[in-house]
């Protein structure tokens, strides 16, 4: 029964992860793209199980591949790192996360990992010269570090906060 429940949750979260970027407004400042709530399905999946988190990342990355650029799809695929690490941590420390300070620290750490792997995922595109000319004119620091790194970190923090509110309403973690 649990595996059917997890498969169903994964399917719903993948569907949401594909639909949210299609319906929500996007702010695209190449190579960065900010879609409100686009990470929420992945963050919620982290609270279900590592397998569900990985499935949702793979499904949502596919959704980004069919609806955006390869750079943005690769950034979505990079979510597998923070989603798996975060889910493994949640699985072993679920009780600790009922504390607001611990949850905030967790959000910050996941946000740092998230932004870092997104920056790394863009490097092959940047250094191969396959990105838009305006990105190179803006420079590496602004395009990669500021837009993808810092912007991605803030985006991650906000989306995790939204996901935390969703998870609080679902029977996925113990109440404080």
Q: Which two tokens stand for residue 85?
A: 């690490």
Number of other residues whose CB lies within 10 A of the CB of residue 98: 12
Round to whole Å and give the CA distance between 8 and 41: 13
Q: Does a structural domain hold residue 55?
A: yes
Closest CA to 59 of 101, 2, 21: 21
Q: Does a structural domain hold residue 126?
A: yes
Which domain does 9 fall in, by range? 2-169
Q: Does a structural domain hold residue 174?
A: no
Domain count, the chain: 1
Q: What is the pLDDT of residue 1?
A: 40
Q: What is the pLDDT of residue 175?
A: 44
For residue 49, report the phi and psi dihedrals to the nearest 5 degrees: -175, 160
pTM of the shown model: 0.91
Q: What is the pLDDT of residue 34?
A: 87
Q: Does a structural domain hold residue 81?
A: yes
Q: Does a structural domain hold residue 37?
A: yes
Round to whole Å and give the CA distance between 3 and 9: 10
Number of other residues whose CB lies within 10 A of the CB of residue 10: 22
Q: What is the pLDDT of residue 27?
A: 84
Q: What is the pLDDT of residue 132?
A: 85
Number of other residues whose CB lies within 10 A of the CB of residue 96: 13
Q: Does a structural domain hold residue 159?
A: yes
Residue-wise pLDDT for 95-109, tens only, equals: 888 899 999 999 999
Q: Does a structural domain hold residue 45?
A: yes
Residue-wise pLDDT for 59-105, tens only, equals: 999 988 887 788 888 999 999 999 999 999 999 998 888 899 999 99
CATH (domain of 67)? 1.10.1760.20
Q: Does a structural domain hold residue 176?
A: no
Where are any strands of DSSP class E within the chain?
27-29, 32-34
For the chain (176 residues), the mean pLDDT of every run of 10, in chain order, is 84 94 82 86 96 96 85 92 98 90 97 97 94 90 94 96 92 54
Query: What 3-state class would DSSP assign to 130?
Result: coil
């Amino acid at each position: 029964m649990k595996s059917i429940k997890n498969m169903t949750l994964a399917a719903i979260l993948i569907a949401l992860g594909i639909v949210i970027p299609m319906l929500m407004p996007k702010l695209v400042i190449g190579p960065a793209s900010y879609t409100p709530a686009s990470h929420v399905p992945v963050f919620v999946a982290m609270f279900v199980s590592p397998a569900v988190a990985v499935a949702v990342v793979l499904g949502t990355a596919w959704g980004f591949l069919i609806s955006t650029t390869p750079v943005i799809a690769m950034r979505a695929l990079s979510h597998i790192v923070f989603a798996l690490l975060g889910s493994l941590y949640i699985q072993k420390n679920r009780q600790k996360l009922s504390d607001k300070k611990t949850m905030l620290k967790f959000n910050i750490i996941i946000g740092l990992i998230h932004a870092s792997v997104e920056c790394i995922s863009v490097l092959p595109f940047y250094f191969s010269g396959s990105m838009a000319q305006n990105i190179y004119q803006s420079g590496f620091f602004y395009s990669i570090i500021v837009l993808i790194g810092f912007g991605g970190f803030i985006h991650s923090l906000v989306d995790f906060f939204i996901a935390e509110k969703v998870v609080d309403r679902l029977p996925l973690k113990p109440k404080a």
